[in-house]
Structure 1
Amino acid sequence: MTTTVDNAHPITDVTSTLGTLIDDVIRPQATTVDREGVFPRQGVDALAAAGLLGLASSTEVGGGGHGMRVVAAVVERLAAECGSTAMVVLMHYAATAVIEAHGPREVRAGIATGGHLTTLAFSEYGSRSHFWSPTGTATATDDGSVRLDARKSWVTSAGEVDSYVWSSLPVTLAAGPMTLWLVPAGSAGLSVTGDFDGLGLRGNGSRPMTADGLRVPSTAMMAADGAGLDTALGAVLPWFLVLNAAFCLGLAQSAVAEAGRHVTRTTLAHTGAALRDAPVTRRDLARLMIRTDALRAFLGDTLTALETGRDDAMLRVLQVKALAGETVADVTDGAMQLCGGSAFRKELGLERRFRDSRAARVMAPTTDALHDFVGRVATGLPLLDEANR
């Protein structure tokens, strides 16, 4: 499991462009996206136009050719400002990892140049967070096409993207546990079947979808029939878990920064003292900072393990989202407590970050599942039981 090594200059160039977009588009709209639960279309389109959605695409098809470290830096910055936008981008890059490896050149080129937005469609009503056990079916037809039928429970950017990396049972059931397909948006038989009114990430458009007699050509299959789980574990999972950790880091860092500003500038009229003048306040802020910096260090080590092909790379990938999910939940909760009643007002933006942070624990693979995976890898067991494959 390896990823491209990035030097400092591409990161500087990318984050400079991103900073402008954050100031001009993403930050000004973050409150509206959250309050109204609307998809952050203007911000996503601005990121695409600036080339920031094709960062990991090959230079061969016009992409940036960057590795995971650069993309993680982008997700982190976005999460600090608008969790919904960051999640849309995160899922786009997780799906792009499959398309880069197995998708058609024209779609790869569309992603590279910002003209194609994609996402994953793995979670199903029948298997819930166990994405590795799809229940949706793929059936060969007499005309050579394949019929897909499924009820997907959560699809980020549902109805907003140009394609879906879609999971199903294999066409030939003996072939393996899962097959992946590239499903174009607007396909006959594909529909969004509900709305999203969530606690957090309210603009990420994570809605249920149904495939009812959806037909795709056999060439829509990505990798071999039945090989989808190996592709999901080898190509998708590292990007998904690492970028989730970057997402959590951005939320945590922004919460700590806001808490620090609040305790510095807020004074007590009857004493003239700032909140920061109390040792207990400084101690609590320091604890939040240390937790966040520890996550940053662990994420950095995970990226290094991937870039250098270290033996513990898979273990680090599994650990990093579990650590990040717990860290961001604790840090945003601590920031809320540190800022007291002021944190419950929307002006600080802390309550939005607190709500957005809750998603990391329950997004598949959940924290509980990751703890089990880590324990299995650490004790020499396969990642999944054969019964689950």
Structure 2
Amino acid sequence: MLALVEKPMTTDWTNKAEEIAAAIAGHAAKHDSDDSFVAEGFAALEEAGFFSALVPEELGGGGASVGEICDVIRIVGRSCGSTALAAAMHSHIVAVAAWRWKNQGAPTDGLLKRIAAEKLKLVSSGGSDWLKSAGTMEKVEGGYKLTARKAFASGSPTGSLLMTSAVYDDPTDGPTVLHFAAPLKGEGVSIQPTWQTMGMRGTGSDDVVFDGMFIPDAAISGKRPQGQWHMLFHIISMIAFALIYSAYRGIAEGARTRALEIAKKRPQDPMLAQLVGEMENALLSATLAHKRMIEIAETGTPGPETTSEAMQCRTLTGQAAIDTVAKAMEVAGGAAFYRKTGLERSFRDVQAGRFHPLQEKPQLDLAGRVALGWDIDG
């Protein structure tokens, strides 16, 4: 008789996400009020194995799909947008590294194995760097000295590595962006508590300051001309924003639920029904655009056309999420103005969806250039 091979148990991420969302809901307002990091949310996610979930099973991780983790972030975002967004920032780095290993044979397996084995939490500076990058690299024996201030480093209070870049003025090739992982603890690095903001106050998105930190040659994982689109950024655009905008869709869903709880206690009124209908339309718009983002992330081929569509969906999802929360405030009426309802926090948190790259006007420019067949670096 043939021996039966026992399949590894798969994680029910939807169920886990709902448990985590319920457990952390009571902490969200406190972190919002005192600008403190969402430690309870991250602890719950770590206990569930979330931070290594996107690492392929062959490399010691959970082997989850992008869609599964988008679902986790969305559900958590209903209760706490800050936990969801900070978790998304780690997740998109892992997802991109896993895609590159699987599809390009890129040597990202070392990082992915470390994430699983050492329970690393990754922090991104991509939102403040993007194509031009920031900071300088000075060539020294065996490597470079890094001088930079990196803003919007979500998750930095508990982060292990900052996945970042800086500009080296190459004597032959001119301004060149070098990509590398920099430790968030040790000589030459400090975290400046600058994150006092309108919303997403619990993400710990403080500034990371590098003052001459040594980055060895072996740590450089890639290089590219400054300010130009590179295949790495087409991969990032294809995958990352489905995860990031899961948080905003989740915030919109949470706001809709709270608004309906308030509205259902009122007498029937055609005007109220119409307001709710407008809220429902806005949320459906966010849902449809975001689902397309997930499809692109899981099945797309990186390149200008894919990037353009993913970025269009990023704009549409963000706008519709903002519209949903604004309409939820209107549905709830004056009660929405009180902090205890959570709607004013949702309203502030969802505004952050405006600021991730590509912001609306650069996104429109890219879409137009792709449609017209123009050079996207023009």
Same fold (TM over 0.5): yes
Conserved? CA contact 1:190–1:211, under 8 Å: yes
In the aligned structure 2, how far is the partner of 1:366 from the partner of 1:151? 21
2:346 paired with 1:353 = yes
Worse-matched range after superposition: 82-91 or 149-158: 149-158
Question: Deviations along 1:237-275, whole A, 9 cap, x unmatched?
Answer: 23332223222211111111211111102x3xxxxxx2x
Count of aligned pairs: 360
Which residues of 2 match residues 28-177 of structure 1 at below 5 A? 28-100=26-98, 101=100, 105-112=109-116, 115-122=119-126, 131-142=130-141, 144-170=142-168, 172=170, 174=173, 177=176
> What amino acid does structure 1 have at the position aligned with 2:33?
R
In the aligned structure 1, how far is the partner of 2:122 from the partner of 2:107? 12
In the aligned structure 1, how far is the partner of 2:19 from the partner of 2:157? 28
Using the size of structure 1 for normalisation, the TM-score is 0.85
Name the counterpart of 1:302: 293
1:48: Cα distance to partner? 1.5
Distance 1:381 1:78, change over 3 A: farther
Structure 1: 5+ residue runs without aligned partners?
1-8, 125-129, 268-273
1:79: Cα distance to partner? 1.2
Name the counterpart of 2:325: 332
Conserved? CA contact 2:308–2:363, under 8 Å: no
In the aligned structure 2, how far is the partner of 1:68 from the partner of 1:256? 25
Question: Deviations along 1:15-52, whole A, 9 cap, x unmatched?
Answer: 1122222222x212112121221111222122122111
Question: Deviations along 1:196-241, whole A, 9 cap, x unmatched?
Answer: 1111000111112221111021111113465996254133223332
2:258 paired with 1:258 = yes
Worse-matched range after superposition: 237-246 or 184-193: 237-246
Question: Deviations along 1:126-167, whole A, 9 cap, x unmatched?
Answer: xxxx6211231122212x122111122322123420000111
Distance 1:53 1:365, change over 3 A: same
In the aligned structure 1, how far is the partner of 2:313 from the partner of 2:376? 16
Question: Deviations along 1:39-93, whole A, 9 cap, x unmatched?
Answer: 1122212212211122211212211222321121111111111011011111101
1:194: Cα distance to partner? 3.6
Name the counterpart of 2:16: 17
Which residues of 2 match residues 229-240 of structure 1 at below 5 A? 230=230, 232-240=232-240
Conserved? CA contact 1:72–1:243, under 8 Å: yes
Using the size of structure 2 for normalisation, the TM-score is 0.87
Worse-matched range after superposition: 227-236 or 278-287: 227-236
1:318: Cα distance to partner? 0.9
In the aligned structure 2, how far is the partner of 1:115 from the partner of 1:379? 46
Conserved? CA contact 1:123–1:152, under 8 Å: no
Distance 1:112 1:367, change over 3 A: farther
> What amino acid does structure 1 have at the position aligned with 2:274?
R
Name the counterpart of 2:204: 205
> What amino acid does structure 2 have at the position aligned with 1:108?
L
In the aligned structure 2, how far is the partner of 1:74 from the partner of 1:376? 35
In the aligned structure 2, how far is the partner of 1:27 from the partner of 1:17? 14
In the aligned structure 1, how far is the partner of 2:93 from the partner of 2:349? 22
1:99: Cα distance to partner? 4.5
Sequence identity (%): 23
1:315 aligned residue (294, 301, 308): 308
Conserved? CA contact 1:22–1:78, under 8 Å: yes
2:347 paired with 1:373 = no
In the aligned structure 2, how far is the partner of 1:136 from the partner of 1:197? 23
> What amino acid does structure 2 have at the position aligned with 1:18?
A
In the aligned structure 1, how far is the partner of 2:14 from the partner of 2:321? 23
Distance 1:77 1:140, change over 3 A: same
Name the counterpart of 2:220: 221
> What amino acid does structure 2 have at the position aligned with 1:41?
A
2:188 paired with 1:189 = yes
Worse-matched range after superposition: 292-301 or 92-101: 92-101
Question: Deviations along 1:325-362, whole A, 9 cap, x unmatched?
Answer: 21122211111122111001122111110000110102
Secondary structure of 2:287's match? helix
Conserved? CA contact 2:164–2:182, under 8 Å: yes
In the aligned structure 1, how far is the partner of 2:107 from the partner of 2:33? 36
In the aligned structure 2, how far is the partner of 1:80 from the partner of 1:382? 40
Conserved? CA contact 1:176–1:226, under 8 Å: yes
> What amino acid does structure 2 have at the position aligned with 1:338?
V
Name the counterpart of 1:3: none
Conserved? CA contact 2:133–2:166, under 8 Å: yes
In the aligned structure 2, how far is the partner of 1:98 from the partner of 1:222? 14
- Superposition RMSD on alpha carbons, in Å? 2.5
In the aligned structure 1, how far is the partner of 2:371 from the partner of 2:76? 33
Secondary structure of 2:52's match? coil
1:182: Cα distance to partner? 0.6
Distance 1:145 1:175, change over 3 A: same
Conserved? CA contact 2:256–2:328, under 8 Å: yes
